[in-house]
Amino acid sequence: MDDLNAERIESLKAGIFSALSLSLAFSALTLLHLFLAKQFPAVGIWQTPTLINLLFSGGVAFLSGFLFGITYRYIIRQDENSHLQEGAVLSFGLVRGLAQVDIGLKLENTLWSLGILCIESLLLFAFARFALDLAIYRQWVKSAR
């Protein structure tokens, strides 16, 4: 039973670490969007969001990062297979990015602006992956057995 509790604690640590790192990257991208909205007000993708939109999007980013961290820890285990690591980033990033594209197409946004959102999603999860890899390397988080 102690092994199970230890695994749960490590998964919780991985989830929190990943959620915080993804939220940090999300915040940086949000600041970039706010800056670009002032510079290029005619471009639809960089419109200034409301506080409610920011809070909701930030919450979704945090939750996505948390779930990614827990899943990623179990995907990689003790394996050094880079395809598993890249596949985890690609799958989480594409699910989030393509969901944004799907909604954006219904709102009649341009395809290139939606492509930017999809690429940003991939970058968010790549950042979380590298942060979690660093945490595991430094043994702040133990890899799954």
Q: What is the span of the domain harbouring residue 63?
A: 2-137
Cβ distance 92 to 125 under 8 Å? yes
pLDDT of residue 140: 95
Placement of tokens 């989480």 in the chain: 92
Has residue 13 been placed in a domain?
Answer: yes
For residue 96, give the amino acid letter.
R
Residues 6+ apart with CB under 8 A from 142: 10, 136
- Tell me how far apart the alpha carbons of residues 21 and 124 are, in angstroms, rounded to a whole number: 9
Has residue 144 been placed in a domain?
Answer: no
Has residue 145 been placed in a domain?
Answer: no
- Tell me how far apart the alpha carbons of residues 125 and 131 are, in angstroms, rounded to a whole number: 10
Q: Cα-Cα-Cα-Cα dihedral of 119, 14, 30, 94, to 10°?
A: 20
Q: In the numeric block, which tokens belong to residue 142?
A: 């133990």
pLDDT in tens, 55-70: 998 999 999 999 999 9
Q: Please determine, for residue 127, whether its predicted confidence score (pLDDT) is greater than 90.
A: yes
How many domains in the chain?
A: 1
pLDDT in tens, 10-51: 999 999 999 999 999 999 998 888 887 787 766 655 566 788
How does DSSP assign 31-86, residue by residue? HHHHHHHHH-TT-GGGPPPPHHHHHHHHHHHHHHHHHHHHHHHHHHTT---HHHHH
Has residue 142 been placed in a domain?
Answer: no
Placement of tokens 């915040």 in the chain: 27
Question: Model's pTM, two decimal places?
Answer: 0.87
Has residue 86 been placed in a domain?
Answer: yes
pLDDT in tens, 91-106: 999 999 888 877 777 7
- State which H helix or E strand residue 113 sits in: helix 111-137
